[in-house]
């Protein structure tokens, strides 16, 4: 499934899993700072050390 423009916001790509995800009402105030598609990806990314 391909994410679509929703609420006037284009889809984003999750920094952890690479999945395209759509804007959600719960992210209305901070859509510009959303980087992960889910809390699970956010937790996993923060517990995994970065290369560099």
Residue 3's pLDDT band (boundaries 50, 70, 90)?
A: low
Q: Is the pLDDT of residue 51 over 90?
A: no
pLDDT of residue 9: 86
Instruction: For residues 31 and 37, give the distance between their C-alpha atoms in angstroms, rounded to a whole number.
Output: 11
Q: Is the pLDDT of residue 52 over 60?
A: no
Please give the radius of gyration of the chain, using alpha carbons only, rounded to the nearest integer. Answer: 12
pLDDT of residue 2: 63
Residue 16's pLDDT band (boundaries 50, 70, 90)?
A: very high
Q: Is the pLDDT of residue 45 over 60?
A: yes
């Amino acid at each position: 499934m391909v994410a679509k423009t929703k609420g006037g916001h284009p889809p984003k790509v999750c920094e952890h899993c690479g999945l395209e995800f759509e804007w959600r009402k719960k992210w209305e105030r901070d859509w510009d700072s959303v980087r992960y598609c889910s809390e699970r990806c956010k937790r996993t990314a923060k517990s995994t050390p970065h290369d560099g």
